[in-house]
Amino acid sequence: MFSIKVKQKSLDTELVEPVLLVLCVVFLSILGTALGVITGLTPGIHVNLVAASFVALHAQLTALVSFLVGWAGPTSSDVLILICCIIIANAVSHTFLDYIPSVFLGAPDADTALSVLPGHRMLLKGRGYEAVLLSAFGSLVALFFFLCLLFPARFLMGSPLHVYEKLSWSIPFILVTVVTMLIVSERTRMERCRPVLRCTSGGILDNEREFQRMQDLVGGETESPLSDQLWKAVVAKGTILRRKSQSVLLSTENGSVRVEFEFPCRLAEGDKAYIAAVVEPSPSYRQALVTKIWALGVFLASGLLGYVVLSSGLFGINWFPFPSLVIDKSSVGLFPLFTGLFGFSTLILSLARNTGVPEQCVEINEGELFRGHFSSGLKGALAGCIAGWFPGISNATATVIAKMLDDREKKGDSERDFIVAVSAVNTSSCFFTLLALFVLLRARSGVMNAMIGALGDALVPWTEIELVPLAMTTLLLSGVIAACIGFILTKKIGRRFALACSDLDYRKLVYSIILLLIAMVFLLSGLLGLVIALLATCLGMIPPLVGVKRVHLMGCLILPLIILFVG
């Protein structure tokens, strides 16, 4: 059907069959994208579940596709390729749409879990729609990144370089390094740090009169704790209790405080001092150590829970209310696990803080919004490339790598950068797993594993750089179409969510979401899923309460992978 004929015919005749190919691919890509909208907006339905369903319903799906494109006269091999167009379009569009429930409902899956907290924070600032736009932009950057690196990545993966074969042994070392760097880089949060006074040149005042004048300028030494005045200028007077080379302990009417100097200080113990300085946080060594111990504990606890859920086979003896909905029992534990760690915990804490959803801003200049975040998308896409290339490096692990590559916590755009990077990871990984399928003939995801079974003999390796297999070309075209449509739909649907969210009572909305997620967990994961969600929720509330990053909760996937490779 789809071979390009080059016999002596008119140009119109030569182009008939390629045109039919494009029309069929566009039609079925739109169908797959529509399916991606459903899976992306419905909590708990992962693309791997849909792909497994396609394999289980292979005969019925073949008959349906043959009926839908029968006007083009496809062969049996053509039908298999077109079925995979639906699968890849669903997978790609899902990576765009699944950020909407993550931001507005706090309902994550394994790929969007880390974006729940920054997305929720932006929602509570009236910027939920902005978060959705940024996620769509990140996915679009990932598509651009993939198209630019398609042929260079082919050289790296396959002949002549075969970098994959040479580096695959290093995966467990990469995972251990990532975890170690995350824990070591954990910093004590500012509100938990001991406040100190940072005194610059000219900060030591000469007498009481100069102190009074400076007090009038900066507003005086207030009675509120110094921890409430971080990064503000204050003036203080008191007696020097202890002195070190570059710091002193100053005793004031409100207690003692440490003063650090950026110049040689000649004050001696017992001197009366008048000081103008800026209040800064300064964690003690003990605080820093305790913070890192908590980070390690959270990682190990979530890793143990993930290991039990993923490798114990508990779901084989679980009771499901509707067993027909469960196709792959080995992966149904992920939904309650991530819903508890990142969904329920976030929603419950927001209820405890008695927050509400302000009116959402939907009139946004996209050009100004996206400016400056392109590099974050590229870093996320690079991390997604690693996930699509190496076995065991999941999207969640790649997200952690992307966070390390783009750690801008001290800058105001950290939330935006992170959402762009996380979204880029997932879309990039989806495309690079497709490339790995045709270059290495190995599945790097559940979707690609389903394609191996669906394509059959149509799965031809990409061995010669100038001869791209027909199946690969077709599926890439389908993925690009789905990405473009998914970008547009994400913006439109996200806008509707933002407008609807502004008109709802936040507490009622959160309670409704929690009940919805409980029902979804029960339907898809059974009674055991509820138990896992409860345990995961308790664990997921620990990081914000003790002052460490939630990224350590990704130990639920990383630690089992390390154990798998080491064992």
Domains of the chain: 86-189+287-566 (no CATH), 194-282 (2.40.50.140)
> Can you give the pLDDT at residue 479?
94
Find the range with the poorest average confidence among 62-76, 141-155, 278-292.
Answer: 278-292
Judged against a pLDDT cut of 70, whether residue 470 lies above it is answered with: yes
How buried is 363 (Cβ within 10 angstroms: 0-12 exposed, 13-18 middle, 19+ buried)? exposed
Find the range with the poorest average confidence among 66-75, 405-414, 446-455.
Answer: 405-414
What H or E segment, with its residue span, contains residue 373? none
DSSP string for 195-246: EEEEE-TT-EE-SHHHHHHHHHHHT---SS-GGGGTT-EEEEEEEEEEE-SS
> Phi/psi of residue 176, each to 5°?
-65, -40
Contacts of 127 (CB under 8 A, 6+ apart): 360, 361
Instruction: Tell me if the bond preceding 101 is cis, omega within 30° of 0.
Output: no
> Can you give the pLDDT at residue 140?
94
Task: State the average pLDDT over residues 159-184.
Answer: 79
| Residue recorded with tokens 């409100």 | 254
**What percent of the residues of the chain are helix, what percent strand, and what percent coil, each to the nearest 5?**
65, 10, 25
Q: Band the pLDDT of 330: cuts 50, 70, 90.
A: low
CA–CA distance, 487 with 133 (Å, rounded to integer): 9
CA–CA distance, 409 with 497 (Å, rounded to integer): 28
According to DSSP, the residues that pair with 255 across neighbouring strands are 252
Find the range with the poorest average confidence among 65-79, 105-119, 227-241, 489-503.
Answer: 105-119
CA–CA distance, 417 with 404 (Å, rounded to integer): 12
Beta-carbon-side half-sphere exposure of residue 373 (alpha carbons within 13 Å): 31
Residue 95: both structure tokens together: 């990576």
- Which one is predicted more confidently, 138 or 173? 138
> Can you give the pLDDT at residue 563?
85
> Can you give the pLDDT at residue 453?
76
- Which one is predicted more confidently, 93 or 350? 93
> Can you give the pLDDT at residue 13?
39
Q: Band the pLDDT of 4: cuts 50, 70, 90.
A: very low
Helices (H), 353-469: 366-370, 374-389, 395-405, 414-440, 446-455
Distance of CA 265 to the CA centre of its chain: 48
Distance of CA 88 to the CA centre of its chain: 20
Contact indicator for 463, 14 with CB cutoff of 8 Å: no
Residue environment code for 206-236, b if the CB has 16+ CB neighbours within 10 A, otherwise e: eeeeebeebbeeeeebeeeebeebeeeebbb
Neighbours of 434 (CB within 10 A): 26
Residue 200: both structure tokens together: 């610059």
CA–CA distance, 445 with 157 (Å, rounded to integer): 17
**For the chain, what's the residue count?**
567
CA–CA distance, 106 with 514 (Å, rounded to integer): 9
Q: Band the pLDDT of 411: cuts 50, 70, 90.
A: very low
**pTM value?**
0.70
Residue 327 DSSP one-character state: S
> Can you give the pLDDT at residue 85?
92
> Can you give the pLDDT at residue 242?
80
